Amino acid sequence: MAHPFETLTPDLVLDAVESIGFLSDARILALNSYENRVYQVGIEDSEPLIAKFYRPQRWTNEAILEEHQFTFELADVEIPVVAPLIHNGQTLHEHAGFRFTLFPRRGGRAPEPGNLDQLYRLGQLLGRIHAVGATKPFEHREALGVKNFGHDSLSTLLEGNFIPKSLLPAYESVARDLLKRVEDVYAATPHQNIRMHGDCHPGNMMCRDEMFHIVDLDDCRMGPAVQDIWMMLAGDRQECLGQLSELMDGYNEFHDFDPRELALIEPLRALRLMHYSAWLARRWDDPAFPHSFPWFGTERYWGDQVLALREQLSALNEEPLKLF
C-alpha cells in the first residue's frame, strides 16, 4: 500500500493553499523536513507562505491545536516565535485528507556552537519560554518519559527485526543495562515536568537581524526543563561547563532553574539516542526515509550504536555537570 505522503504532489499542495482563499503564483519549494512535509509556496502580490502538512495519524487535532495555542501564548508576551496564521478563524485546515497549517516565512541562521554571548541570549529566550510553559500543563500531548522514549523504542527495534542478527545480542544487552541506569537516575532526581519545546537543537533557534526566534514546536510536550537546555551544549566537559554557566545566567533572569535537574542530562541524551533509531524504524515505510537514510540497517550503523550506548552508559556513571 502506498504511503499517504506519496499522494502529496505539488499540485495538491497548491490546491490546498488555494482552497482556503490564497492565490498561489505556482512557485513551490520543498523544505528540509521528514516528520512532516513543509513547503514554501509563492503567493500572488505577497510574501511567500510556509505550508506544513502534518504526518497522518501522528497527532490528534486536539494535540495540534494545543501546540498552536502554546505558540500564541508565547507570542502574546512578545516572545519571538513563528506562530501559525489564523485564517477564517482557524489555524488547522484540511484538504484531500491532509491536515495543514500556514506560517509566515521567517529566515535566519543557526547559533554558532560554543558562542558564549549567543548562549546567554538563548538562555534568556529559553527562560521566557519555560516561564510560560510552567503556568499550566498540556492535556493532549504526551510527556517525555523513560517508557515512551526508552522501553517503547527498544521494543520497536527488537520486534521489527531492524538490527542485524550479528549485533542483536550486543545491542539488546547494552540497551537494557542503559535503561535500567536511566530509570535509577530518573527516580533519584527531583524534577518538574513543564510544557517545553521538546526538540530544542540549535537548528530550531534561528538568528535574524541579531535577534533569535524559535521555530518548529511540533515536538512540544511535557518534560523537565533541562531537556531544552542540554542540546545547546557542545564540546568537552570543561567547555560545556562554561557554556552552561552562560545559558543559566540568561535563563535565571526569567525563570528559576532547579540545578538538581542537571543529573538528567545524560539520561535524556541516552533516551534521545534510542528514540532516534526507533523513529527511523517507525518511519521506514515512508519512501523519503530509505532514500535519505540508506545507512540505517547496516552493520556499521548498528555497530556504531552499540558503541554509542556503551559510551552513554559510562557517561551515566560519571559525576553530572554542576553550576558553580
Give the pLDDT score at 252.
97
Least confident window among 61-65, 204-208, 214-218, 317-321: 204-208
Residue numbers in the known binding site are: 204, 216
What's the pLDDT tens digit per position in 104-121?
998 788 888 788 888 999
Give the pLDDT score at 206.
85
Residue 209, pLDDT above cutoff 80: no
Give the pLDDT score at 149.
97
Residue 1, pLDDT above cutoff 80: no
Average pLDDT over residues 210-231: 92
Average pLDDT over residues 131-153: 97
What's the pLDDT tens digit per position in 43-85?
999 999 999 999 999 999 999 999 999 999 999 999 999 999 9
Residue numbers in the known binding site for Mg(2+) are: 204, 216
Give the pLDDT score at 114.
80
In angstroms, how far is CA 268 from the centroid of its own chain?
13
Catalytic (active-site) positions: 199, 216
Residue 92, pLDDT above cutoff 70: yes
Residue 96's SS3 state is: coil
Give the pLDDT score at 161.
87
Q: Which amino acid is at 52?
A: K
Average pLDDT over residues 216-225: 96
What's the pLDDT tens digit per position in 165-187?
999 999 999 999 999 999 999 99
Taking residue 29's Cβ as centre, other Cβ atoms within 10 Å add up to 12
Average pLDDT over residues 261-273: 97
Q: For the chain, what is the mean pLDDT?
A: 94
Contacts of 213 (CB under 8 A, 6+ apart): 80, 81, 82, 106, 108, 205, 206
Q: What percent of the chain shows pLDDT beyond 90?
A: 85
- Distance between CA atoms of 58 and 56, rounded to whole angstroms? 6
Give the pLDDT score at 16.
97
Which residue, 114, 96, 121, 56, is CA-closest to 251? 121
Residue bearing the bigger pLDDT, 278 or 2: 278
